Amino acid sequence: MDICENLAPSKVGELSASRFSRLQSVFDAATALSGDARQSYIVEACGGDEDLRNEVEALLSVHGTDSPLLETGLLRLLNGFSEGDLVGPYRVVREIGRGGMGVVYLAEDTRLHRQVALKILAPSLRTSGKQQVRFRREAEMAANISHPGVATIYALEESESIQYIVTEYVPGETLDIEFKRGPLDSDAVIDIGLQLSAALSAAHGKGVTHRDLKPNNIIRASDGKLKLVDFGLALGFESDEDTHTRLTDPGSLLGTPAYMSPEQLRGNSADFRSDLFSMGILLCEAAIGQHPFAGSTVAVTMAALLESEPKGMEQLRVTSPGLAAVIDRCLQKDPELRFTSAAELHEELERLHQQGPNAVPAMGYSPSDRQVTLAWWVFHQFAVITFCCLLTAALWLVKEWVPSVLPRLTFILGLAVAGVITVIRIHLVFTSRYNPSAIIRESSRALPWLRRADWSFSVILAVAAIEIAMERELVAALLLGAAVAYWAVFNFVEPATRRSVFPGALRKG
């Protein structure tokens, strides 16, 4: 089969003669084979030319079908788009970016007369069902995030069997170009951190972790604002892990190893704290002018990220101890020792912005302090549970002392509310221990119920005190004191304890 028989001569000329001849030769020979013999031949014929191998396999996938790729999109499958090409209603202006997963073009929307960015799967991936599903998921997740620091998704469209994402076009340069000019001053690094942590907080708030945060995925617009782009490797917190596994080939490593967290490199589950590790690398690179784990190859970078401590931070720890502490905490190998949320990171950066980068790190900030505050939070939960149990036992005595229906009803209500309080708090403790990535979400969900239950329990104690006021004055006074004490716990101690562990994440209460 002549693969150029349906193409105009001018289009065929876009491929170099030698390249096209080799592609034609391997394709023709492969069509005469099948099964393992075909695959073995392709591997041998293409040698180490992965692009050629992908192109041959793409052509074979539509060979013998009525796919429009053979008539209208073959050369686009191989070469991409050129200036003036129409992709649906969008006229291509030029290519503005290319990566392992996709190609990005600047284009003009011929209907609305505005410039947009078109992201199209890399030519060698367009016939992969897994990659097409991943591509659609990128559009769906990014479209749910509404924040000025995240490039807006306009549409997911299809033209000539090629899917593409239409996004806001952000003129400017990526941060990797900015970083090549040398280290930035601390105020500029803090500003980058503030903008990115706000954008990440918006993404994490929608249940999306980026997983590929790196300088060339961040654009500085002409007004100085940063835009986070490319959610091609994004993953939802809730139920996407199984889907991600189905979309990932065994043994594959998706993303940019130099900016991956240790858990990503090990192939473990990566939640929002993985983005915070990448953020630490990025901020460190901006501050000291080099990658903190200096290494460009996968093997060297993986070993450094997994085992080494960040390099080049000594001077920064002297001149900007607060900023250095932020970076150090982001770069903790253990996810549990990093910031608990992008919002907490943003809050600390805001404090540095106000007080200056040489401000002393906040209390409860170091990893050891973090462990202490978490232990105190767990102790607080069990202390409140014990307090509830003891006061519920006191309500049982009130029932025995006053022969009336009302004290019995008070005891039943107190027992029910104490049960709710106990179950919720034990759930939070176990979540913090066995599923720490979900503790922010679960704490936010539990907070309104805990406040209602705590308030109800205080009222029940006060009612019980009134019921026995005439019979047991001392016990009634103690119960009333317990009601006031419990009220103080959930109004003052509880919020302070929560903020010490989840700063910035739980603002209510």
Q: Could you report the per-residue pLDDT of 429-472, keeping only the tens digit for each?
A: 888 777 765 676 677 788 888 889 989 999 998 888 888 887 78
Q: pLDDT higher for 147 or 51?
A: 147
The helix/strand/coil state of 266 is: coil
User: What whole-number distance in Å separates Cα of residue 339 and Cα of residue 345?
Assistant: 6
Q: Closest Cα to residue 499, out of 453, 440, 457, 441?
A: 440
pLDDT, position 177: 92
92 in Cβ contact with 81 (< 8 Å): yes
Residue 154: pLDDT band (50, 70, 90) is very high
Q: How many CA atoms lie within 13 A of 192 on its CB side?
A: 28
Hey, CA dihedral for 99, 201, 187, 185, is it positive or negative?
negative
Q: Which of 109, 212, 230, 454 is catalytic?
A: 212
Q: Closest Cα to residue 494, out of 440, 451, 439?
A: 451
* Extended beta strands in 409-475, E state: none
Q: Could you report the per-residue pLDDT of 78-136, keeping only the tens digit for each?
A: 556 788 888 889 999 998 877 656 788 999 999 999 999 998 876 556 556 677 777 78
Q: Could you report the per-residue pLDDT of 14-57, keeping only the tens digit for each?
A: 444 456 567 767 877 887 787 788 888 888 888 777 777 877 77
φ/ψ (deg, to 5) at 165: -105, 130
Residue 252: pLDDT band (50, 70, 90) is very low
Residue 360 is classified by DSSP as: P
Amino acid at the residue 38: R
pLDDT, position 70: 46
If phi over 0 gives left and psi between -120 and 50 gives alpha, with beta otherwise, what is residue 84?
A: left
Residue 338 is classified by DSSP as: S
Which residues 6+ apart lie within 8 Å of 442 measured at CB? 427, 428, 431
DSSP characters over 373-399? HHHHHHHHHHHHHHHHHHHHHHHHHHH
Containing 263, the helix (H) or strand (E) segment is helix 262-265
User: What whole-number distance in Å separates Cα of residue 479 and Cα of residue 477?
Assistant: 5
In 13-171, which ranges are continuous DSSP H helix? Answer: 17-31, 35-46, 50-62, 74-79, 129-143
183 in Cβ contact with 288 (< 8 Å): yes
Residue 319: pLDDT band (50, 70, 90) is confident
pLDDT, position 370: 62
* 73 pLDDT above the threshold of 60: no
Q: pLDDT higher for 18 or 172?
A: 172
User: What whole-number distance in Å separates Cα of residue 389 and Cα of residue 405?
Assistant: 22
Residue 190: pLDDT band (50, 70, 90) is very high
Amino acid at the residue 189: V
Kindly compute the dihedral angle of the four CA atoms of residues 485, 487, 491, 497, in this order, to the nearest 10 degrees: 50
Say whether 212 is catalytic: yes
Q: Could you report the per-residue pLDDT of 355-389, keeping only the tens digit for each?
A: 877 776 654 455 556 666 778 888 889 999 999 99
Q: pLDDT higher for 187 or 296?
A: 187
Longest dimension (CA), the chain: 105
* 65 pLDDT above the threshold of 60: no
| Residues 333-339, mean pLDDT to the nearest whole number | 83
Tokens of 196: 């990115």
Residue 194: pLDDT band (50, 70, 90) is very high
